[in-house]
Amino acid sequence: MTGNAAKKNLRLARTLFLVAVAMFGFGYALVPIYDVLCEWKWIERDRPDDIKKVPETAYKVDVSRGITIEFMTTLNGSTPMEFKAEKKQLKVHPGEYYTVNFYAENKTDKDMLARAIASFSPAVISSYFEKVECFCFSEQTFKPREKKIMPMRFVINPEIPEQYKTITLSYTFFDNTENLVKK
């Protein structure tokens, strides 16, 4: 029995060693896999280099459908600002235009340059979420302690599939003040 137990222990040790090696390999492979997946998904999201203002188009408003838009605001860890949406959520009808104000304040005694980057959940929604006016189209310059009201005017294209009942629009503000000095 002692020999049998030793064989079982050896087999268990080999199995655990192989699992540990496989886990390390998987963790190591996650970085390139993540990069590939993000590139693929990034196509469907707003990016600073291809955000385009769309013209206001007359859509037929679908009053039979209601979609809840949730607004989330965050700051990059080193951004000394206050940033929030006037509403946490808004019930909308596809094809109808809405304007939501966002508030930002420079909390420093220096000029500041900041940029808001949008992301959507689910990501595929970005192709149906059309912005006519948005503070995210360009970098925002703030004077010391300056407060701004920044409107975002949008419409949900009525061609949005019926399965989408809730959309989360998240903006993250990034401090780009180092670019202000270079200009």
DSSP run (H or E) holding 169? strand 166-175
Confidence (pLDDT) at 148: 95
Q: Provide the mean pLDDT of the chain.
A: 84
**CA-to-CA distance for 181 and 183, rounded, in angstroms?**
6
- pLDDT, tens digit, for every residue of 146-181? 999 999 999 999 999 999 999 999 999 888 887 665
- pLDDT, tens digit, for every residue of 123-136? 888 888 999 899 98
Handedness of CA 128, 134, 139, 143 (dihedral sign): negative
Buried b (16+ CB within 10 A) or exposed e, 97-114: beebebebebeeeeebbb
Is the per-residue pLDDT at 6 higher than 60?
yes
More confident residue, 37 or 76: 76
Handedness of CA 170, 115, 173, 88 (dihedral sign): negative
Confidence (pLDDT) at 156: 92
Closest CA to 151 of 78, 80, 95, 71: 71
Confidence (pLDDT) at 127: 85
Q: Please give the model's pTM, rounded to 2 decimal places.
A: 0.68
Is the per-residue pLDDT at 69 higher than 90?
yes
C-alpha distances out from residue 70 to 89, 130, 148, Å: 4, 15, 21
Question: Is the omega angle on the peptide bond into residue 144 within 30 degrees of 0, that is, cis?
Answer: no
